[in-house]
Amino acid sequence: MERKNNAPEIQTQELPEGLSLAKSGNLFGTTSIAGAYKFTVQASNSYAEDKREYELVLLFS
C-alpha cells in the first residue's frame, strides 16, 4: 500500500526524562537531569530511511 503523505515518521530512544522529539525535528520539554545522553533518531518515508546518532549534553548551574 503506497503512502499518500511523504512526511517523515520520526522515532527516537534514550532521551532524558521530560524531553521529546517532535515530528518537525525540534527537541522540546523540560528536564532537571544533568548529564551526557546519546540517542538515535530514525526517520523514514516512502522514499528512504535514515538513522543518525546524536549526543546531548545538559549542564545546570
- d(CA 45, CA 23) in angstroms, rounded, equals 12
Tens digits of per-residue pLDDT, 3-50?
A: 456 666 777 778 888 998 887 788 899 988 899 998 888 888 888 888
| pLDDT score, position 1 | 47
| pLDDT score, position 5 | 61
Distance of CA 57 to the CA centre of its chain: 15
* Phi-psi domain of 8 (left: phi exceeds 0; alpha: psi -120 through 50; beta: other): beta
Of residues 35 and 61, the one with the higher pLDDT is 35
Of residues 41 and 57, the one with the higher pLDDT is 57
Q: Are the C-beta atoms of residues 50 and 42 closer than 8 Å to each other?
A: yes
Q: Are the C-beta atoms of residues 15 and 28 closer than 8 Å to each other?
A: no
- The pTM for the full model equals 0.67
